[in-house]
Structures are given as structure tokens and as C-alpha cells.
Amino acid sequence: MQTYTESARRYLALGLKVIALTGKTPNVRVHPHGIKDALSGDPESVTLRACFEHPDTTGIGIATSYPYFVVDIDGEEGAQNWRDLVGDDDYMPDRWVARTGRGLHIWYAGVEPTNSIKLDTLLDLKGEGGYVAA
């Protein structure tokens, strides 16, 4: 099983920004400014190890920032709301898709920055200043 540090390195290698989580929120002991402290760049940095090997770290968050945004679908109700918005043919597009404990994260690349918004019940769009639990 990969450690949080090893997994965070893999996300950084893909050009993504990462943040250590406690539960589903930023670990404020290592990220006092929350998502603004998301790490990018050097996957071998001492800071990366300090954040992801901290005893309060229980997970990894991936910051959603331009050009990426994520549709966060929770449960069957969220899935139905997504189908209602995009239709059955586009429900599972040709994109990065991650299965979560409660549903799916569908990753998109946009042509301009997008803010985070609530799309419907159990259905969110995570954009600038947001993050998803990995």
C-alpha cells in the first residue's frame, strides 16, 4: 500500500496541487491557511514529507484550479441529478473519473477559470479555490 507521501508525489508529477487532509478538511497544523497552502512543484521536497507524514494527516486533497474543475457526484440521487443535467449519453464522458466512497469525481479541463458551485442536491462543481478528497 502506498503512503500518503508517495501518493502525493504521484499527483504532483501529474502537475496537480495537493493538500494534507484530516478527515475531509485541510490539516490546519501543516496548512494553517487551508487550500491556499496547497503544495505544487517538487515531489521530493521536505515540506511534502512533513505534511503527509504528520500524525494528524489522514488523507490527500487535490486542489481544483484552472484549467481543471471537477464534478463531484454523491450517491444515486447525485448521479440522477447529473444525468438530468447532461443526459444519459454524456453521463460518463471520456475524462478522468475517480470512484469515491460515495460516488464519482469527473475531471474536466476548461477554457477559463471556473468557481465552485452547487449544481443540485448531492452534486457539486469544484473549481477555483476548491479541492476534492483523493
Could you read off the pLDDT of 60-87 as tens digits, one per residue? 999 999 999 999 999 999 999 999 998 8
**pTM of the full predicted structure?**
0.89
Cα distance from N-terminal residue to C-terminal residue, the chain:
15
Tell me which residue has cell 502537475: 15
Could you read off the pLDDT of 9-59 as tens digits, one per residue? 999 998 999 999 999 999 999 999 999 999 998 888 889 999 999 999 999
Give the CA distances from residue 2 to residues 52, 59, 94, 130, in Å, rounded to whole numbers and listed in that order.
12, 12, 27, 25
Burial of 18 (0-12, 13-18, 19+ CB in 10 A): buried
pLDDT of residue 91: 64
Let me know: does 16 contact 65? Beta carbons within 8 Å. no
pLDDT of 93 above 80: no
